[in-house]
Structure 1
Amino acid sequence: MKLKSKINLFSAALFIGLLLLINCAIYFTFNRMMYDSELERIKVEARQKVKGMHEAETSVPIENLLRAYMPANGMLQIVRSDGTPRAAVTSAGNSDLRKIPVEYKNKELANIFEYDHIPYGFVSMPVIWSSGEVSELQLTENLATTAHNLRTLKIVLIAITIIACIPVLLASSMLSNFIISPISSLIKTMKEIQGSGRYKRIDQPKQSKDELYQMGETFNNMIGQLEQNYVKQEQFVSNASHELKTPLTVIEAYADLLKRRGKETPELFDESIEAIQSESNRMKELIEQLLLLAKHDEQWKVTAEEVHINALIGEAVRSFCAGYKRKIEFDEKADVTVKSDAQKLKQLFYILMDNAHKYSKDTIYVSVERKRGKAVIEIIDRGGGIPTAELPKVFDRFYRVEKSRARASGGFGLGLSLAKELADAIGAEVKLDSVEGVGTTAQILL
């Protein structure tokens, strides 16, 4: 069964069930109230008749007395203590009541009974005559009018239920359409995406705060992310293929040259070996960076600990000076300790230092300070700088600013992308500020 049918069936059944329950409660409540009211009226009437008979007992024969107090629509009788009727009178049309077996109740009694499909109110009250004889006055009244009124009420309630079912069914249909419409649109869009392979979003007619609108917005946002990731993936595969193709072509060319002329020309042999080794190292470095970038955020194993930034950066600066023979000025503007992953922070620092080393020849300036409650590590180079328009793109994989990030520098355009991944993993922030022709300032904020 479809969800729409389930919603229709459930909501309609629920509303109709509630309506039936309310109408039944109304009917049975009125039924009880009306019969109880009639029975109370008959009891009052019976007491009045007993009182009147006591006052007129000695002067009027019992049969005449009963006729004087005969009900308009029923039967009045006197029953002896042995269960035999002493006298009885009935109104016109109620003579059949005489056929009902007579019984001495021996107590005051009031109830409703049905005879020949007609409801009657019955009241029995003890009577003590002046002679000392104990009898009972039994008053029976026809309640056909009350029954007729209740039948009319039943018909009205049934009619109301049937009529009310029409808007209930319409409302349940509208409700199901309102709920199912966005879901149907979502399914349709998914099928179109599946069939065409193109990303498509759901049209949102108007802004709302309900869950259905939020579901549509979430789907559209998810499609946007998928589309963006798909484009990045295509870009990544294309760039990776291009970056790997070049060293493989060089290796293949030199290998072919070695095969043809390597034995006869020692100089060519040395040149080819050096070129093949150089390109192999470039490929190894590229593959290592690609493997690092292939990790998801949750796969970074971060070990948070107290890290003395001054000591960590000072040691890294000394190692860099010794390894690359570069002049680096280190300024400790503040003594800073943070909670972070020391190894990943050092790796992040090395990536930014490596960029400064590759793209500048002058002194590199490194400082550690505290600004607005954050630890700030700053690396400044006096290289060619990055055009302002290119700054937002430098963290994209394989992106290189051709003017200053020439292929000769040996970069793949993966360093800053890896730096961004590392910063996100340890909860840091990387900022770049650059002026073309002046230099670049990189900041790590913790």
Structure 2
Amino acid sequence: MPAVNAPRLRARTIEVPHSGDLLRFASPTSPLVWLRQGDGIVASGSAWRGEFTGETRIPDSADAWRQVVEAADIDDTVKATGSGLVAFGAFAFAAESGARSVLEVPELIVGRRGSVSFVTAITADGSEPKPRLPEAQPFGETDATAILEDGLMSSDEHRRAIDRALDLIHTGHLSKVVLAREQRGGLPAGADRRRLLARLASAYPECWTYAVDGLTGTSPETLVRVLERQVSARVLAGTAPRGADEEADARAQARLRHSEKNLAEHRYAVESALASLETLDTHDDPGTGLTSSRVPFTLKLPNLWHLASDIRGTLPTGVTVLDLVDALHPTAAVGGTPTPAALDAILALEPFDRQRYAGPVGWVGAGGDGEWAVALRGAEIDASGSITAYAGGGIVASSDAADEYRETQLKFRPIVEALRGDAEDESRRRGGKTTR
């Protein structure tokens, strides 16, 4: 276990009156945000930060977090999801990435779960934490808008990369590989990034709206969730655009449900997730293990249909949510099958660093619980406001390059429209609702 310079953090949580719009309590320039359907946690400041790299970045973070928790003094009478000592986290997709993988313990957290609102104050200097609900801050005048343009992976480059991926599949080197492309832009100086997050949360309320260390987006895919030792994970693989009207939408849903190509892609992803989790599943009673539904269901989002499967079970003894994150990442839904060959192909075929796109993003609590999503439908936004957005799709033997390019265009839409300032329009066109 690597030694960590872990200060003796002190955390105190109190219940407070209904907090209203949580985004009003986040930092305008460096928000820490984890929201779904208006509930979640937002934070500001930094009491402790760990950075991790390489192949062992996730297990190293899990070891570091254990050391931080062991040294901490925690007073949490609220005991709601996300209360007490919490670290926000975001991890690079690949071991070779130049992007930093981080755990960040903030100084102040404002949260809400159902009817319970709370505030956690955290200190690192030995002083007594003094939690109180801060004054909500109105959004700044400068909006977080930008126009994105294609980066290194142009449409022609994307087609050539898919052709090379299909060669690897047809020659037996791979069953599936996920290839991404990127778009780039920049925020205006002084932009209030909470405006961007508000549009994402409004348009996609059923997704996880996240912001950690500049990684920003709204993900439909739960990597893993542990609450009171109950584990749930959601696998998404297989995609179709929504129809223009109710009848066309029903046809699109039916086609996806019976598409051999998408069902095969989904099956690879579910089998990969279960195989990864089996390495941690040490239950003696098979009835308490981690299992998946046999048949995927269709998940409706404002602009897409997905094939989805849920995995459920009980957390094995001695295991934390970060151990599950390490076991699951990368899933076949964002990497491919077999995993080592798919990751090699991604490095060879994508002319850019994915950074933390398709990596784990979420939070971990002192008791080992937490919520983590796959960082999709979003972008890396650095301190200067430079934006790199990503979208990808799974390539299997029956893939068509033109169809795959159109799929990435659909997957770019949440972040593109939010940056353009019109993400709410999509929600209104779909009635403001999505279905899990």
Flag whether TM exceeds 0.5 (same fold): no
Higher RCO, Cα 8 Å, sep 6+: 2
TM-score, scaled to structure 2: 0.18
Rg comparison, structure with higher value: 1
Q: Which structure's residues are more often strand, by fraction?
A: 2
Q: Which structure's residues are more often helix, by fraction?
A: 1
TM-score, scaled to structure 1: 0.18
